């Protein structure tokens, strides 16, 4: 299985501009001066991804109070993300990376094992970007359930 290049603490986070479910564009470098949690998930409206998105939404106020923005990125089109937001009452920003270029640059797309088979796909990942644009935390192959609680503990926000 070929190893996908991954980000590590101290790396400069690759910049991106992606559309949201509301049609606006979000550029990572525009968020300099704030800490940003960027998480990658395979598909809106699936059980694990819904649990993770709801967990981030439920924690958004306290994360923002601690100085963090949250961006959820999937290969879904903005229209599907809008339905996802509406159906689940999500408050986080959902971004569409339809061509998977950002996911690839961030090490969140590539070969992974799924039910014992090697497949190409989205690697559920979370990267925390510091105020200066460098990676502070990079977690790959995270579990959807309990991940936000673990991240809060890792960031001393528990």
CA 128, distance to chain mean position in Å, is: 9
Pairing of strands 35-40, 68-74: parallel
For helices 47-65 and 78-88, give the axis angle rounded to 10 degrees: 80
Nearest to 43 by CA among 100, 91, 3, 5: 100
Name the active-site residue from 13, 26, 37, 49: 49
49 is annotated as an active-site residue? yes
> Which residues are known to be catalytic?
49
């Amino acid at each position: 299985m070929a190893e996908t290049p991954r980000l590590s603490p101290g790396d400069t986070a690759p910049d991106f501009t992606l559309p949201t479910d509301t049609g606006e564009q979000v550029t990572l470098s525009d968020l300099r001066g704030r800490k940003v949690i960027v998480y990658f998930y395979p598909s809106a409206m699936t059980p694990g991804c819904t649990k993770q998105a709801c967990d981030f939404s439920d924690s958004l106020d306290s994360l923002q109070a601690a100085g963090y923005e949250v961006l959820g990125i999937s290969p879904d089109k903005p229209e599907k993300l809008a339905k996802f937001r509406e159906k689940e009452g999500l408050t986080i920003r959902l971004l569409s990376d339809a061509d998977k270029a950002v996911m690839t640059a961030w090490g969140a797309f590539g070969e992974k094992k799924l039910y014992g088979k090697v497949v190409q796909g989205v690697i559920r990942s979370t990267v925390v970007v510091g105020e200066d644009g460098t990676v502070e935390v990079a977690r790959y192959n995270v579990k959807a359930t309990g991940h936000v609680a673990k991240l809060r503990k890792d960031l001393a926000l528990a």
